[in-house]
Amino acid sequence: MSKDYVIALDQGTTSSRAVLVDREGRMVDCVQRSYQQIYPQPGWVEHNPQEILLSQLGSLTELVSRHGLSERNVAAIGIDNQRETTMVWDPSTGEPIANAIVWQCRRTADMVQELCGTDEVRRMVQGKTGLLPDAYFSASKLRWLLDNVSGARERAEAGELLFGTIDSWLVWVLTGGMVHATDETNASRTLLYDIHEGRWDEGLLALFDVPACMLPEVRRSASLFGETSYPGVPAGIPICGVAGDQQSALFGQCCFEAGEAKNTYGTGCFLLMNTGDVAARSKNNLVTTIAAAAPGTERTQYALEGSVFVAGALIQWLRDELGLIRSAEETEYLARSVPDNGGVYIVPAFTGLGAPYWRPEARGLICGLTRGTTPAHIARAALEALAYQTTDLVRAMEADAGRVLCALNVDGGASRNDFLAQFQADVLGMRVRRPQNIETTSLGAAYLAGLTSGFWSGTDELRGLRGDDDCFEPRMGRPEAERLLAGWARAVGRAM
Ligand code: ADP
């Protein structure tokens, strides 16, 4: 029987999904299960790894029974996952020693400050990992578990415990405990991995006091990790694509070549640019990270990454806190109902300003109000703010990469807003391309697994599957765009 499908397991921060993808790259079906967010203290965030498993395997088995799936009609499984979230388990029992510490958790902020306080250490860490030392990444979370769970350090040093990001955990469970591995993109988010040498780094392990014996083996994203061997899941399906969610989305957007980039407009924004085999070093507070590459790519591929903290969350704020709109979609109609922003700018620095400014103490503002300002102007200014923030990141990235983008691929919930997409094209002076399927995160995992298993022949075939994008060409004159950007720059200056 010929294989008809690949399955993507999309392990996100608030839910797990199993997605069925056919040969034409269409999403045939998707089962989604949410799970609990655990907040033990202000600023702390945890997930119960068994609940992650239950939601992920539950969605998988539901998909399997709906479509009569088995190793006979499924070519491969790919996994994409929330990055940086850290857990430790005992392979002899399969029991996690504690809840997973989620990427958002700030409990180790002081520890990182203490360990990486000097310029010398920061430079060393950034040089090797491409990241800025921060509690966000896995290393300090792992150290926290070893220092705070009773007996953990002794057991880890005796080789009795395993560390993993969520991809490792899923691979280990799905292969019946046979494989303890992760992929390069997830490894590159731990703060323990030398992205240039392609190995766990002894100096970083010493800095964070992590025993090497608990680390997973690192493999290419597009490679065989193992075969399914778990009760209730069809046996013998190869797991042969793994990537962190943002790198998976970059791949799912078909950004296979250096100079191609995507921006995801969700709660926040994530902008990634493929820089090929060059690990570009940022001067603008962006991070350098490993990108997923197609099978057969000889050299490690890299990306520059930057994020906007508050994007779709600003629209939620207009809806839930200000009560200015009833739904996020309504912003589009409101924004179009006025000829321009009426001089109003919103800087949504609720939690400070991220790259390229990096001013944690900055706070949000709305400026340029007059007696004529209406809710429509505010809604328009909010959508424009998403586009201005993205423009700042794109310009910083172009400077760091030493190349100019020719188009921006967009996805994420807010990318459905046509006003936003057009305004983004206008202020950037660049074509904005929105694929028909904006679920690019799961698509990337499916693509990686499908290429590795030979389900698809190569990246050219994948590009062909993409269908017709919605394209937004810049229509605004440059002087007008520059005038608006100057207004934004003045507003940002005030927020700082
Ligand atoms: P996440 O994955 O971060 O939860 P999604 O990709 O699901 O986010 O996108 C949801 C976000 O996008 C929400 O913050 C919402 O306010 C915003 N959003 C959704 N639809 C629209 C729209 N049509 N216009 C503007 N913002 C939108």
Query: Is 114 a residue whose pLDDT tops 90?
Result: yes
Please tell me whether residues 329 and 231 are part of one structural domain. no
Atom of ligand 1 nearest to the CA of 312: 14
Q: Is residue 44 a part of any domain in this protein?
A: yes
Please tell me whether residues 195 and 241 are part of one structural domain. yes
**How do residues 34-86 score in pLDDT, each as one tens digit?**
999 999 998 899 999 999 999 999 999 999 999 999 999 999 999 999 999 99
With a threshold of 0.95, does the pTM exceed it? no
Please tell me whether residues 181 and 318 are part of one structural domain. no
Mean of pLDDT values over 258-270: 93
Query: Is 146 a residue whose pLDDT tops 60?
Result: yes
Distance CA 16, CA 11 (A): 5
Q: How far is the CA of 312 from the centre of ligand 1 (A)?
A: 5
348 lines ligand 1 (CB under 6 A): no
Atom of ligand 1 nearest to the CA of 319: 16
**How do residues 157-188 score in pLDDT, each as one tens digit?**
999 999 999 999 999 999 999 999 999 999 99
Q: What pLDDT is stored for residue 224 in this prediction? A: 97
Q: What pLDDT is stored for residue 1 in this prediction? A: 53
416 lines ligand 1 (CB under 6 A): yes
Residue 123 burial (C-beta neighbours within 10 Å; 0-12, 13-18, 19+): exposed
Quick one: pLDDT band at residue 398, thresholds 50, 70, 90?
very high
CATH number for the domain spanning 277: value is 3.30.420.40
Query: Is 274 a residue whose pLDDT tops 70?
Result: yes
Residue 32 burial (C-beta neighbours within 10 Å; 0-12, 13-18, 19+): middle
Per-residue CA distances from 215 to 169, 171, 307, 468 (Å) = 12, 14, 28, 43
Sorted by sequence, the CB contacts under 8 Å of residue 146 that are 6+ apart come out as 88, 152, 153, 156, 209, 210
The number of distinct structural domains making up the chain is 2
Atom of ligand 1 nearest to the CA of 316: 16
Q: What pLDDT is stored for residue 467 in this prediction? A: 85
Query: Is 454 a residue whose pLDDT tops 60?
Result: yes
Sorted by sequence, the CB contacts under 8 Å of residue 363 that are 6+ apart come out as 349, 350, 352, 495
Alpha helices in 91-183 (DSSP H): 109-115, 119-129, 138-148, 152-157, 166-174
Q: How far is the CA of 265 from the centre of ligand 1 (A)?
A: 7
Mean of pLDDT values over 252-269: 94
Q: Is residue 458 a part of any domain in this protein?
A: no
Instruction: Give the residue whose CA is nearest to atom 9 of ligand 1.
Output: 413
Q: What pLDDT is stored for residue 261 in this prediction? A: 97
Please tell me whether residues 213 and 259 are part of one structural domain. no
- Bridge partners (DSSP) listed for residue 274: 303
Distance CA 233, CA 57 (A): 8
Atom of ligand 1 nearest to the CA of 264: 6
484 Ramachandran zone, left/alpha/beta (phi>0; psi -120 to 50)? alpha
Q: Residue holding tokens 């997930």?
A: 47
Domain residue limits at 270: 254-434+466-496
